[in-house]
Amino acid sequence: MKGRKLLMIPGPIEFEPAVLSMMSKPTTSHVAPDFIDSFGNCIEMMRNVWQSPSGQPFIVGGTGTFAMDMAGSNLIEPGDNALVISSGFFGDRYAALLKRYGANVDFLQPQLGSVVTTEEIETALKQKKYKLMTFTHVDTSTSVKINPQPIAELGKKYDVLTILDGVCSVAGENIQQDAWGIDVVLTASQKAVGVPPGLALLVASPKAMAAYNSRKTPVGNYYADWGNWLPIMQAYEARKPSYFGTPPVNLVFALEVSLKIILKEEIEKRFKRHQHIADSFRAAMKALKLEIIPANDTIAANTLTAVYLPTNVAPTDFIPAVSAAGVIIAGGLLKDSKPYFRVGHMGSVNATDILGTIAAIETALKKCNYSFTANAGLAAAQNVLLG
Ligand SMILES: *Cc1c(COP(=O)(O)O)cnc(C)c1O
């Protein structure tokens, strides 16, 4: 870590050295046998990480927003009704995106720091027939987490396709795509999946693929069209060469390394590690008398935490002071909220990283003249970590 700061933002994150060194492997042809094999392995391993043996994985160059775009553009036809269940910034984005493809969008939005209830969702579903609904597992602007399972149940009950924006949760929070019956679970490489930015990743259920196949109009986005990408995914999985658009070769090799690391750790243990580290961070914030955005711990994410700054501490003083202490954290994303900061704790994050981050936060709070008991945050976190 010498000469370099610890990157603790909600993506990109700190990457495993093995993943980074794979990025520098000389780029090969996208139809070279070793690349085909790597791509095929990634597709197979995604089914395990997503817990979706029946799903169709897609690996396409792009960001998380493109993964959202891919799901939206392939499943929406002009005039379809869509329900967007928001918990912050990325819900707004999904509504705007679906409207581009001609959807009639209804929008459910909770108070800042809380979630839309299952009852509110069911009320909306009773009133109108929807083609699909979207929900954000962890909203990265607020660190509020929803429980996808009862929403997926409602999707089955009312025959509505379900799209989970899992950009800030896949490989960090518990997701069981097949068991819960979610139609699309999407993410991007740079978050808990642990690969530098540049890959849009999603897994689509047989029901989502059937909905795509029964479209009456062409997909409004040429690059995103599953009709272009499905044959490529199938070819690579059959270990055959194929081409639609040049895949980001080095990123796919790196994805293979990261998915292997994730599965070697074991997915359940990985979720528990995220929970443990998040618990320790929340305990530290509480001990420092700093309030987090989520209204209670059951809806607080394990992949990042959004924390209100004390009055009289400006983000423009605080965040550079944390950086000067060696740790990069993020500012708030919501413009009309009280000032807050965000700390990402996902991927290969460990106890030492989180303790170092809390130490840097205490140093910055002191510099900003906030009054607190020195080491209170560190001690609270260490108690959780040792417990
Ligand atoms: C980061 C994020 C996105 C957007 O991903 P990009 O890669 O920045 O396009 C979408 N949704 C959620 C929940 C995110 O955390």
Residue of 92, 140, 334, 345 to mutate, ligand 1, most atoms within 8 A of C-beta: 140
Cα distances (Å, whole numbers) of residue 163 to 60, 76, 86, 238, 380: 18, 12, 12, 27, 37
- Cβ of 94 closer than 6 Å to ligand 1, yes or no, is no
d(CA 375, CA 378) in angstroms, rounded, equals: 5
Q: Looking at the predicted structure, is the pLDDT value of residue 1 above 60?
A: no
Amino acid at 297: D
Q: Is the CB of 173 under 6 A from ligand 1?
A: no
Specify whether the backbone of 130 is left (phi greater than 0), alpha (psi in -120 to 50) or beta: beta
Q: Does 109 contact ligand 1 (Cβ within 6 A)?
A: no
Check whether 39 has a pLDDT greater than 60. Answer: yes
**Contact between 337 and 311 (Cβ < 8 Å):** no
Task: Please write the tens of the pLDDT for every residue from 282-316.
Answer: 999 999 999 999 999 999 999 999 999 999 999 99
The per-residue pLDDT of the chain, averaged, comes to 97
pLDDT score for 54: 98
Render pLDDT for 42-100 as a digit per residue (tens, 0 to 9): 999 999 999 999 999 999 999 999 999 999 999 999 999 999 999 889 999 999 999 99
Question: H/E element holding 23?
Answer: helix 17-23
| Tens of pLDDT, residues 139-155 | 999 999 999 999 999 99
Q: What's the 368 CA to ligand 1 centre distance in angstroms?
A: 31
pLDDT digits (tens, 9 = 90+) for 244-285: 999 999 999 999 999 999 999 999 999 999 999 999 999 999
Please name the helix (run of DSSP H) or strand (run of DSSP E) that holds residue 285, with its range, or none.
Answer: helix 267-287
CATH class of the domain comprising 6-11+267-386: alpha beta
Residues 31, 241 contacting (CB under 8 angstroms): yes
pLDDT cut 90: percent of the chain above it: 98
The 10s digit of each residue's pLDDT in 108-126 is: 999 999 999 999 999 999 9
DSSP state string for 49-109: HHT-TT-EEEEEES-HHHHHHHHHHHH--TT-EEEEE-SSHHHHHHHHHHHHTT-EEEEE-
Q: Is the pLDDT of residue 4 over 90?
A: no
Residue 349: which residues within 8 A CB-CB, separation 6 or more? 8, 13, 14, 274, 277
With a 6 Å cutoff on the Cβ, whether 72 touches ligand 1 is no
Instruction: Give the pLDDT band (50/70/90) at residue 2.
Output: low
Residue 230: which H helix or E strand, with range? helix 226-237
Give me ligand 1 centre to Cα 136, in Å.
Answer: 10
For residue 241, is pLDDT > 90?
yes
Mean pLDDT of 207-223: 98
Average pLDDT over residues 11-27: 97
CATH of 17-265, one of 3.40.50.2000, 3.40.640.10, 3.30.70.360, 3.40.50.300: 3.40.640.10
**Does residue 161 have a pLDDT over 90?**
yes
Candidates 132, 160, 156; CA nearest to 76 is 132
Going by CA atoms, what residue is nearest to atom 5 of ligand 1? 64
**How far apart are the CA of 186 and the centre of ligand 1, in A?**
10
Ligand 1 centroid–CA 142 distance in Å is 13
Answer yes or no: is the C-beta of 65 below 6 A from any ligand 1 atom: yes
Q: Categorize the per-residue pLDDT at 335 as very low, low, confident or very high, splitting at 50, 70 and 90.
A: confident
Query: What are the structural domain ranges in the chain?
Result: 6-11+267-386, 17-265
